[in-house]
Structure formats: structure tokens, C-alpha cells
Amino acid sequence: MSRLTFHPTPLAGLMIVERVPIADERGYLERLFCASEFASQQVQLPVAQANRIVTTCKGTVRGIHFQYPPHTDAKLVSCLAGKIFDVAVDLRRGSPTFLRWHAEELSSENHKSLLIPAGFAHGLQTLEHGCELLYFHSAAYAADAEGGIHPSDPKVGIRWPLPISEMSVRDRGHPALTGKFTGLTL
């Protein structure tokens, strides 16, 4: 029996993954990742790195981050505590949805993850205090390949649900996109 269900979004390759908990009087078991279940959806996600992120303050924005080729990576983002507004932006050159974004609310209660393919940028806003996330990445982080987009970039137009309460100096320093940015070639 499958413990994961996959749902497409309007952006090709970006999927919502619902985790199906198995509960009893002690609590529940929840599968976060299974290579064979992902493969049944024609998704290969070789896990090269896993990161845990804890954000204490509601309204905090993290991102919008991406990796330039050849270090682009797919990621599976899950919220283990709290609630977040999780955003993916299509940066794939030639994509019919280039620069479009899609967001999902992820929480410990709704048991959803977001599967973000290579060629997308990622960011999030915490909707509650005390959020904890788990990311599975298909490639290790490469500092020299890091890219970012300012979270308030008008060309992308993300509508954050809350006023931004906190953001890192690095994220505030990400530039807005210019006409010179033609996307990522994978």
C-alpha cells in the first residue's frame, strides 16, 4: 500500500506529495520519502543532502534561492512543526511557465510536502512561530553556484500572505531580475 500520493500543480514537474500517516493509540508513523514510490511517478530524487531548518518568528521570509547549472537540484520540502507558505518559481529557460510561481501551505497537520524540480527557485514564509522544516536535496549545496531573487521582485510578483517580519541580510541583498536573465538551461 502506498504511503505517499502525488498531485500535479499548474507548473510542470512541481508536485504536491501527500504523506499518509498510519495511526494508532501511540501516535503515527509517516513516510517522508520512498525512492520506489517516487519512481512510480517517473521522479528520480537521489538524496545527496538533507537539511533541517528551524525558524522562530512568524512572518519570516527565507529565499528565494536557486543553484546555477551544473549544480541545479531538485528538493523535497516538508514542514514538521508549524505552518509555512512554500513558494517555487519556474526559472527554466524556454518553459511555458517561465517566472510563474506556485505556493502551497505546508504544515505538520496537513501532511503535505512540495517536490520542487531542478530549475526552480525556492522560498518560504513562516505562518506561525516555531517552524521546523526538513529538505531532501538531489545535489549538495555549491556556494559558488548560488543564486537568489529578491522576495519582493515585481517581475515575479509573489503575494506573501503576511507582512515580512524578518529576512536575512543575504536575502535582502538578492537583486531583482533584469531583462538579461533568460533562465536556467538544464
* Catalytic residue, candidates 28, 135, 141, 150: 135
The residues facing 134 across adjacent strands are: 52, 78
Q: Which is nearest to 175 in space by CA: 159, 158, 152, 157?
A: 152
Q: Which is nearest to 73 in space by CA: 52, 51, 94, 106?
A: 51
* Catalytic residue, candidates 65, 68, 71, 141: 65
Q: Is 68 a catalytic residue?
A: no
Q: Is 135 a catalytic residue?
A: yes
- Alpha-helical segments (H) within 70-131: none
CB contact at 8 A, 62 and 53: yes
* DSSP state letter for 144: G
Residues designated as active site: 65, 135
